[in-house]
Structures are given as structure tokens and as C-alpha cells.
Structure 1
Amino acid sequence: MHVLIVDDDLANRVVMQSYMRDKASRINMATNGEEAVQAVTMALDNQEPYTLILMDIMMPVMDGHQALKSIRELEQQRGIPPGSEAKVIMVSCLEDQKNVCQAFFQGMATCYLTKPLSMEGLETALNSISF
């Protein structure tokens, strides 16, 4: 599994990396949405697309909602068929209905987890996803 972790907080990136270490063949990190879009573009260019993206919402430069929208547009432009896109777990301290709905319905997120992230919560989310 090729994983991209996107969060502006180093501690959160380290925690997510430790949770994913045994599950991923490769883990890359980005500190904002713009870097995430660039990483996804490079991965697609190299024909090594991400299997899973763990994405925060509140980040500088480009937030997670805009980054996910851009990633989905990029996947569509590249002709990636529906269902074959990267699975995206939004990981955020925001749990209001507006942000959750925006993640699922506009960004086509696969799952939504609230911080602080737990290993059990991530395991449950990963088990619910068909890769």
C-alpha cells in the first residue's frame, strides 16, 4: 500500500506514520494541501498512484477540502475509473455536519475520523475500506 499523510502538524504526521508503518510499503508526507496535490501528481506521473491518503482539513496554503477536490479532478483528468481512485480518510478536529458532508459529498472522501486519532479508530476505518 502506497500512503500519503497530509497534515501541517508534525506530531500528527508522526502518529499517523507510526500507525501505518506495518501496513504500508511506502509512506510519503506533505504539510499542506498544495504539497499533497503535487505529490499525487508526481505519483500518477510515475505510474505509482497512492492507495490511501490520510488528509487533515485545516492547513495553511490549501486546506484539505480544496486539496481533495483538486486530487479528484486530477484523477478524473487522468482517466482513473470510478472506484479505482485513491481511498481518502479525512482526519480532522472538525466534526461539524458541514465539514463532514463537504468531505463526503464534494470531495468523495472514503472515511472521516476525528482527532485525536486512535489506532482502533484507524483500524476500523481501514477494515471498512476495500482496497
Structure 2
Amino acid sequence: MKVLIVDDDLANRVVLQSFLRDKASRINMAANGEEAVQAFVMALDEQAPYTLILMDIIMPVMDGHGALETIREAEKDRGVSPGSEVKVIMVSCLEDQKNVCQAFFHGMATCYLTKPLSKEGLETALSGISL
């Protein structure tokens, strides 16, 4: 499983990386949505796409909602077939209805988890996703 962790807080990226260390063959990190989109598009163009993205919402430069929508556009532009899109777990301190709905309905997020995240919570979410 190839994973991209996107969060502007280094401590959060390191914690998520430690949670996934035993499950992922490769883990890359990005500090904002723009970096995430660049990494995603490069991996897709190299035909080595990410299997899973963990994405924060509140970040500088480009937020998680914008990044996810741009990633979905890139998939469409490159002919990724429906159902084969990268799985995305939004990981945020925001749990209001507006942000949750935007993640699912505009960004087609796979899952939405609120911080602080536990290893058990992430494992439960991953068990419900076909990777």
C-alpha cells in the first residue's frame, strides 16, 4: 500500500506515519494541499499511484477540500475509471456537518475521521475500506 499523508503539522504527520508503518510499503508526506496535488499527479503520471491519502482540511496554501477536488479532477482527466480512484480519509479537527458533507459529496472522500486520532480508530476505518 502506497500512502500519502497530508497535514501542515509535522507532529500529526509523524504520528500517522507511525500508525501505518507496518501496513504501508511506502509513505510520503506533504505539508499542504498544493504539495499533495503535485505528489499525487506525479505518482499517477508515473503509473505508481497512491493507494491511500490521509488529508487534513485546514492547511495553508491549499486546504484539504481544494486538494481533494483537484485530485479528483486529475483522476478524471487521466481516465481513472470510477471505483478505481484513490481512497481518501479526511482527518480533521472539524466535525461540523458542512465540512463532513463537503468532504463526502464534493470531494468523494472515502472516510472522515476527527482528531485526535487513535491507531485503533484508524485501523477500524481501514478495515472498512477495500484497498
TM-score normalised by length of structure 2? 0.99
Residue in structure 2 matched with residue 109 of structure 1 by the alignment: 109
What CA deviation, in whole Å up to 9, does each residue of 1:48-92 have, x standing for no partner?
Answer: 000000000000000000000000000010000011010000000
Shift of 1:114: 0.2
Q: Deviations over 1:16-58 (max 9, x none)?
A: 0000100000000000000000000110111100000000000
Q: Secondary structure at the match of 2:11?
A: helix
Aligned to 1:11: 11
Q: Equivalences for 1:34-73 in 2 at 5 Å?
A: 34-73=34-73
- The CA distance in 2 between the partners of 1:76 and 1:129, in whole Å, is 21
Q: Which residue of 2 aligns with 1:79?
A: 79
**Structure 1 match to 2:21:** 21
Q: Which amino acid aligns with 1:117?
A: L
Q: Could you say which residue in structure 2 is the equivalent of 1:30?
A: 30
Identity of paired residues, percent? 82
Cross-structure match for 1:121? 121
Q: How many pairs align?
A: 131
Give the AA of the match of 1:59. M
Read off the aligned partner of 1:118 and give its amino acid letter: S
Unaligned runs of 5+ in 1: none
**TM-score w.r.t. length of structure 1:** 0.99
Match for residue 99 of structure 1? 99
